[in-house]
Structure 1
Amino acid sequence: MRSPDPREATRVFFDGCCLNHIFRGQEPDQAIVKRRSTSATCHHDFAATTTSSFFPNTQFTNHESIPSLQESFVQFIKTYPKYSETAQVDQIRAREYVHLSESNHVCLDYIGVGLFSQTQFQSISKSPIASSSHPPSRKSDCPVFGISYKSVNLRSQLLHGGDGCKLESAIKKRIMDFLKISQNDYSMVFTANRTSAFKLVAESYPFQSSRKLLTVYDHESEAIETMINTSEKRGACVMAADFKWPRLRIHSAKLKKMIVRKKQQQQKHRGLSVFPLQSRITGTSYSYQWMTMAQENGWHVLLDACALRPKDMDSFGLSLFRPDFLICSFYKVFGENPTGFGCLLVKKSTVPNLQASNGAGIVSLVPTKQVLGFPEDSSGTDTELEQISKFVTNQDSMDISSTLSSPITEKNKQNGNSKEGDQKDAGLKENRHEDSERRESDEKNKTGDEHGSLNIECRCLDQVGSLGSNVINSRGRYIINWLVSSLMKLQHPNRLEKASLVTIYGPKVKFDRGPALAFDIFDWKGEKVEPVLVQKLADRNNISLGRAVLSHIWFSEKYEVEKQTFLERSDKDKETSRTKSKKAEPGITVVTVALTFLANFEDVYRLWAFVAQFLDADFVEKEQWRYTALNQKTIEV
């Protein structure tokens, strides 16, 4: 199925004043009250329009009664006419990521940013450099680099390690340019994955003198649990923020009490505060002011940028807040080859405070000899690398504006938590400036110089840069809020009381929510359909979803009933939980959705249509029978 042309849909007037605000309303503290009021009004109007415009006063009680893709898209465009201004994303997806359409598979199970496009990899696989004696098994399995572990002290690596080989130096420079981070201010190392980056910080941070570790996460995380366990062994006192039921907002009073330093406390640094600007599970956005408050009260700050949208990472005000540590991750190509690496950036003024560690998890980026056609005994010399680089950057005949990287999915069923592990997530340019800015961006983003550096073209990063944050964020805002609104319209039939098919955790329809969603499905009897079963059935419908466990949820007395209902977890859940800490508390297992900037309307419509099938009381039983009838193993929950 293809999404209908937006031009075919009827367009109506919609007050889009709020759509021109930068994501998360990045207004300075001294902004005038009138401007804040206008922004709040626009945000409210956006939510009201979303809720009332899509088939108003309609509830769907039968999966066969939901509107078609065409009908839904027409209504979608009526609600969000500015969505047509993001059409260049569709063009990039069609030209550079053909596999997203050809595979007929919808990837909604991890957030992140890619380096290369599928078309770029296909071009590399057809390079005359590639040897016929070493053909790649698949064109998409043709990486320009591999990962090599190195045993080195983090502090020494940051102080004296240098930039590595030309390939590694080129990619490092390109990433720091993309993030708009100066190498004069920060040092960077590549890590095997996100978890390795957090563990490295925990192993090197001086907890003997700065005893506290404060985390702000509404879900269980392998990376954070690894950091907590490592920090506790080194004497850290661990604290965690709570999140209020039902919207899962930060419990502000409790967090402020943990952050603010008492007057009698004289130590220079209280400890390490680990903070994401957005939940990668619920899509909840958090205020920058928490980071500022921590810094003002003597905390070192680690900013977790892994859940941010691509352009948010270079526009979230890094130069203003200047965290001591920053962690992000990149994969190679979205979808067929999502493997990649983590990036740990440390402020240079903070490096001398770090302590010696074994450095496990630091990696080097090295060329993959066999795939690129080098003989087995080849050393992968700089000359050979430059030949590869020259070929890659000579692909400039392809229109950069129509090339954008998108993450499709790997089938992450072996690891059911939130995919935050190892794979892994400015303004709108006026039309008259787009061509000149794109040409300028092309020249700037080819990493290399006349002194012999490699020119590595990271086409995905180039395409993200050419789109700008307004296009990427507005598109994601429309799609995720339509999905939330549509899921809330699915109601069980033949019930006197309102019985929703789907329970959404965290923010519902909201202007500044992120491109992530956590939900559960409840059958007509009110019993929860286990997320692992939803995930497996979705996979059989060519849709990849994730799973996670919400945690640190605080219930007030009036929500005592919900606490007893939602926090119940089976013995199996407890055994399979990633949380190893003895302090672990019951959580809520959920199905998760993650939208990349290449997601389109058809992706979320297909998910909606799949979820609607659970309105059929016999849907799960029918699917299990059909699976067995096809000589497959019975689905195990």
Structure 2
Amino acid sequence: MYSPCIRETSEACFQGCCLASLPGFPDPHGTDPKYLSSADVFRYNFALTTVSSLFPNTQFTNHESLPPLDESFSSFNKAYPQYSNTNQADQIRAQEYYHLSMSNHVCLDYIGHGLFSYSQLQSHHMTAPVPSSSSSSAPSLNFSPLELPFFEISYKSVNLNSQILYGGEESELESKIRKRIMDFMNISEADYSMVFTANQSSAFKLLADFYPFQSNRNLLTVYDYENEAVGAMIRASKKRSARVLSAEFSWPNLRIHSAKLKKIILNKRKKRRGLFVFPLQSRMTGARYSYLWMSMAQENGWHVLLDACALGPKDMETLGLSLFRPDFLICSFFKVFGKNPSGFGCLFVKKSSASILKDSTTAASVGIVSLLPATRRSQFPDESATTDIETEQTSKLKLHKDELAAASSSSGPLPVQKISNETLESYEISDVNFKQKGSSSSEIVELEMPLDIPQSLNKDTSVNGYSQIECRGLDHADSLGLILISLRARFLINWLVNALMSLRHPHSENGLPLVRIYGPNVAFDRGPAVAFNVFDWKGEKVEPTLVQKLADRSNISLSHGFLQHIWFSDKYEEEKEKILELRTIGVEGTLGNKKRDKSSSGISVVSAALGLLTNFEDVYNLWAFVSRFLDADFVEKERWRYVALNQKTVEV
């Protein structure tokens, strides 16, 4: 299937905002420019430009032979002169996310959208000023880590159906953040309802629990990698008699096997199709897919869920997506890029499709959350040490409860002067039972407290008051805009792919490549993520988890994942056995609580994802790190280095 974006979308979209991955050049004569359309010539020239960005026809066989950063950046700028037009992103990074440069931290494992900036995080806990655009240095990072910044989440005992159909009480904090997110996602409140969920997985599972799989039996997904959130949906849907289907991806480019997917979507034997779960791009490989798959599914009786978690900032503003409206949409947000990955998920339900959802008899609405004002943990006493002061505060709070309840139910707000600071403090400390849920990194908490806090309490005008909340992370994406963000990501990801492919093992007869890229190689329309593996001089794969650990020691954060649903034609049948890995996983048995082993085939990979704050130095540092594997003794040297440092555990 060829993308219609070139002929149907605006000039902004033509610049690569929503172009789908094409299955090669359409002309049978090859890549000779004289046989190509103007659009294909543009792409062809872009590929040539990318090659020229890194010393044409150069292969690097020694990590010490890599050109230095400044020389590489100069060549990069010559190849992509438009990159200089994106320097506003560098200014935002320097002013608002200066921790990345000061700590030399390369963050290539974040997928999603950051709500706030690091500068905002610091303003709550540092007296030093945020550096201005003219400042040459940022404030010191010697500070206590911020706990629960900006907001907390608590689980909410409500029914998803009633929440979607009739809504519910929401605080000023929730209202402001919901409206800001819907504006950022280019979604109309008149068309969609939205609920906050604990995370991305919760949103997927919630929808699976309330979608009518008994009548619309099929669940069709389009993922070239193992996705934890989609896995939660699949497990929940199977319990409700769903028939799970998946698209397949053709080796070696991992494009959608169009004929097979089309056959499933158009199957005329089933009048009631089911739920079609679709991402516009792979967050693992960077492969992009046409949004017309969603249109085709909807026209043939499928309900459509758009997974927007892997979309880049402002991608929802592409012309195609602005015209297409799926039945459901899921996205996720984290707090601060490079510092705090906790956050929440969002489930959007189109109001005209809300009646599709049915009450579940097997599952409660677990996963819906409320947003609460942030409170530092230091304000909470140890649970095992209840003090006389706490008892006194509890007694004082009880004296005010009738007054608070009366204000909550009355039409007029409670006069602010009647609520003393002492009352507020006792409310925060004594009437809240703090419980940590799960791992410390999740920062998901359960707060046993009344949710009907008077609105007057919500109107806190202090710095920590959420009536003052400013989603500066979203503001930054808005200020940069779709075209600038897309251009920047395109230049950086293609340079990185080209640079990784230039690394070759020394003294090998055929120039054995150090790195193998899975999915798109250099391509005008590839997404800002790359999946790859590193191979040693004997051609054996270095375990992705090991590469990830060694990268972490070099202050580079990468992800690892498992590619799956790969289809091999007869041409690659012999290659198939060498490439695919068998993995045994435990799954629930037929009795529910028993486990059984199940084998799955695929490819474990390392993945790097670029965001709007990624700069050239980040991708260069990743290239320099990977090049160190050209040294046959690199892994062994790292092992001995940690032994020399008297590490208790040697992980490599």
Q: TM-score, normalised by structure 1?
A: 0.80
Contact persistence 1:248–1:506 (CA under 8 A): yes
The match for 1:589 is 604
Instruction: Report sequence identity in percent.
Output: 60
Deviation at 1:24, TM superposition (A): 2.6
Instruction: For 2:322 and 2:169, locate their aligned partners in 1 and report how far apart those are by CA, in whole Å.
Output: 22
Structure with bigger gyration radius: 2
The match for 1:377 is 427
- Deviation track 1:227-263 (CA, whole Å, cap 9, x = no partner) reads 111111101111000000000000000000000031x
Contact persistence 2:200–2:346 (CA under 8 A): yes
CA 1:163–1:252 in structure 2 vs 1: closer, same or farther (change >3 Å)? farther
Deviation at 1:216, TM superposition (A): 0.3
Instruction: For 1:561 and 1:531, locate their aligned partners in 2 and report how far apart those are by CA, in whole Å.
Output: 24
Aligned residues: 541
Instruction: For 2:649 and 2:98, locate their aligned partners in 1 and report how far apart those are by CA, in whole Å.
Output: 34
The match for 2:329 is 326
Deviation at 1:496, TM superposition (A): 0.9
Map 1:426-575; keep pairs closer than 5 Å.
454=467, 456-569=469-582, 573-575=583-585
The AA in structure 2 aligned to 1:93 is R
Map 1:32-431; keep pairs closer than 5 Å.
37-125=37-125, 138=144, 140-141=146-147, 143-162=149-168, 164-262=170-268, 265=270, 267=271, 269-315=272-318, 317-357=320-360, 358-370=364-376, 375-378=425-428, 382-388=455-461, 391=463
Contact persistence 1:280–1:516 (CA under 8 A): yes
Contact persistence 1:312–1:469 (CA under 8 A): yes
Instruction: For 1:40 and 1:581, locate their aligned partners in 2 and report how far apart those are by CA, in whole Å.
Output: 50
The match for 2:633 is 618
Deviation at 1:504, TM superposition (A): 0.5
- Deviation track 1:4-37 (CA, whole Å, cap 9, x = no partner) reads xxxxxxxxxxxxx99962413389xxxxx9xx93
Contact persistence 1:190–1:342 (CA under 8 A): yes
Instruction: For 1:162 and 1:583, locate their aligned partners in 2 and report how far apart those are by CA, in whole Å.
Output: 42
Deviation at 1:46, TM superposition (A): 0.7
The AA in structure 2 aligned to 1:610 is F
Q: Kindly report the root-mean-square deviation, in angstroms, between the aligned alpha carbons of the 2 structures.
A: 2.7
Deviation at 1:142, TM superposition (A): 5.1
Query: Gapped runs of 5+ residues in structure 2?
Result: 1-10, 22-26, 28-35, 128-141, 380-423, 432-452, 590-594
CA 1:228–1:577 in structure 2 vs 1: closer, same or farther (change >3 Å)? closer
Contact persistence 2:489–2:612 (CA under 8 A): yes
Deviation at 1:121, TM superposition (A): 2.0
CA 1:636–1:123 in structure 2 vs 1: closer, same or farther (change >3 Å)? closer
Are residue 607 (structure 1) and residue 601 (structure 2) matched? no
Instruction: For 1:163 and 1:261, locate their aligned partners in 2 and report how far apart those are by CA, in whole Å.
Output: 43
Instruction: For 1:71 and 1:475, locate their aligned partners in 2 and report how far apart those are by CA, in whole Å.
Output: 19
The AA in structure 1 aligned to 2:528 is P
Instruction: For 2:458 and 2:588, locate their aligned partners in 1 and report how far apart those are by CA, in whole Å.
Output: 41
Instruction: For 1:372 and 1:385, locate their aligned partners in 2 and report how far apart those are by CA, in whole Å.
Output: 21
The AA in structure 2 aligned to 1:387 is D
- Deviation track 1:359-380 (CA, whole Å, cap 9, x = no partner) reads 1011010112336976252387
The AA in structure 1 aligned to 2:584 is K
Contact persistence 1:531–1:589 (CA under 8 A): yes
Matched position secondary structure for 1:307: coil
Deviation at 1:392, TM superposition (A): 6.9
Contact persistence 2:586–2:596 (CA under 8 A): no
Deviation at 1:382, TM superposition (A): 3.7
Deviation at 1:109, TM superposition (A): 1.1
Deviation at 1:601, TM superposition (A): 0.3
Instruction: For 1:19 and 1:222, locate their aligned partners in 2 and report how far apart those are by CA, in whole Å.
Output: 31
CA 1:502–1:60 in structure 2 vs 1: closer, same or farther (change >3 Å)? same
The AA in structure 2 aligned to 1:141 is E
Query: Gapped runs of 5+ residues in structure 1?
Result: 1-16, 28-32, 128-135, 394-452
CA 1:526–1:259 in structure 2 vs 1: closer, same or farther (change >3 Å)? same
CA 1:346–1:137 in structure 2 vs 1: closer, same or farther (change >3 Å)? farther
- Deviation track 1:484-521 (CA, whole Å, cap 9, x = no partner) reads 00000000011111300000000000111111110000
Instruction: For 2:301 and 2:586, locate their aligned partners in 1 and report how far apart those are by CA, in whole Å.
Output: 38
Instruction: For 1:205 and 1:24, locate their aligned partners in 2 and report how far apart those are by CA, in whole Å.
Output: 29
Contact persistence 2:291–2:321 (CA under 8 A): no
- Deviation track 1:272-329 (CA, whole Å, cap 9, x = no partner) reads 0000000000000001111111011000000000001011033364442210000000
CA 1:582–1:473 in structure 2 vs 1: closer, same or farther (change >3 Å)? farther
Matched position secondary structure for 1:528: coil
